[in-house]
Structure 1
């Protein structure tokens, strides 16, 4: 994880698929779990989806709240 990745979760939008245009931090848990089962894409977007899955799966979404206010 890069230090900037948490900020990216609340500023970058999903670039493709059913939730195209949705902030990565706002993607639903079942969608993130699907990626976890099927495989995350390559590159930065895959790394961010995997990170968001871990945050969501462990109930740590509130950690992003202060970052949302800065965005």
Structure 2
């Protein structure tokens, strides 16, 4: 399966936080896998959030969370 993820998308994904709900403020990589599986079954939200959750679901299902954690460390967010 080809994910088609580029470098900038992976960096953005590594730093994307859940904007609402019980897990508001958590990095998507820190969401429980069953939560992402639920979204996969019920349908992902539209737009960027849905794209990010779908990508994170694929990453977690394939056991690649360490890749995202490494990206978080190597490419920190620059805040003004």
**Common fold: TM-score over 0.5:** yes
Number of matched pairs:
71
* Residue-by-residue CA offset, 1:9-61 (whole Å, 9 max, x unaligned): 22121011111111112111011001000000000110000000000011111
- The one of 57, 63, 67 equivalent to 2:61 is 57
Q: 5+ unaligned residues in a row in structure 2: which ranges?
A: none
Q: 5+ unaligned residues in a row in structure 1: which ranges?
A: none
Moved beyond 6 Å, runs of 4+: none
Across the aligned residues of Structure 1 and Structure 2, the Cα RMSD in angstroms comes to: 1.3
Cα distance in 1 for partners of 2:22, 2:12 equals: 20
Q: How does the TM-score come out when normalised to structure 1? A: 0.88
